[in-house]
Amino acid sequence: MPTESHSALYARIVDDLAEHGWSIQPLFAPEGLTAELADECRLRAERGALAPAGVGRGNALAVREAVRGDSIEWLEAGQSEACDQYLALLDGLRQAINQGLYLGLEDYESHFALYPPGAFYQKHLDRFRDDDRRTVSAVLYLNEGWQDEQGGALRLYLKNGEVRDVPPRAGCLVVFLSADLPHEVLPATRERLSLTGWFRRRGDGPL
C-alpha cells in the first residue's frame, strides 16, 4: 500500500507534470517489490504468456517488428500479491494527479513488457488518433544492475527541443503526458523488462 514516503513522491510527480509535462523518479518502487515483479515477468515469459506486441488498435492492430519488438501481457487485479501492490501504488498516484491537476483520471491499465536484446520501439506518441482516453503514461523499470553502456534507454523528445535519455534501471518510474511527449525505446545488449501503463480518463472518441 502507499506510504507517507510515496505521498511525497506523488507530490513531486504532480509538480513535475504541472511544470514540465514529465517526471522521472529514480527510486519509486521498493527494491523487494521491483525484484518480485521482475521475477514474475520472467516467469510469464517462460510459460509463454507474453505475446508479441502490436501497433495500432481494433482492426488496424498488427505485429510490426520493424516498429516494435517487445512481448507483453496485461496485468489484472488478483493475479499476484506483487502486481496488486504495484497497482495500489499507481492508484495512489492516480488520485494524487486528480487532486492536483483535475485530469479526471478514472483507471489505470498496464502490461509487462519484455524486450529481447536488440529489440526497440520507434518514436511514437501513446495516445491513439481515434481514442483520447490515455492521458498520463507511467513506466516502471525492473532491470537490476543496469549499466549505461548496455543501451535500452527511453528517449524522451521534450517540448524545448532537447532529448532526454532515461536508462531502464530497477525501481525507476517515468511519468509523462501521453499526448504531448514523443518517445522511443533504444535497443539494448541485454533483456529489458518494464511495466508500461496509462492512466485513462473518460474519452470523447469511440470505445
End-to-end CA distance of the chain: 31
Tell me the CA distances in angstroms from 32 to 110, 130, 141, 206, one per residue in order: 20, 39, 13, 40
Amino acid at 164: R
The CATH superfamily holding the domain 4-201 is q2cbj1_9rhob like domain (2.60.120.620)
Q: Which of 66-80, 173-187, 193-207 has the lowest mean pLDDT?
A: 193-207
The residues that bridge with 192 in the sheet, in sequence order, are 115
| Cβ neighbours of residue 93 closer than 8 Å, sequence gap 6 or more | 10, 13, 138, 175, 199
Give pLDDT tens digits for 163-199.
999 999 999 999 999 999 999 999 999 999 999 999 9
Q: Which of 4, 10, 5 is nearest to 138 (CA)?
A: 10
| Entry pTM | 0.90
**Band of pLDDT at residue 6, cut at 50, 70 and 90:** confident
Could you tell me what percent of the chain has a pLDDT over 70?
88
CA distance 86 to 2: 9
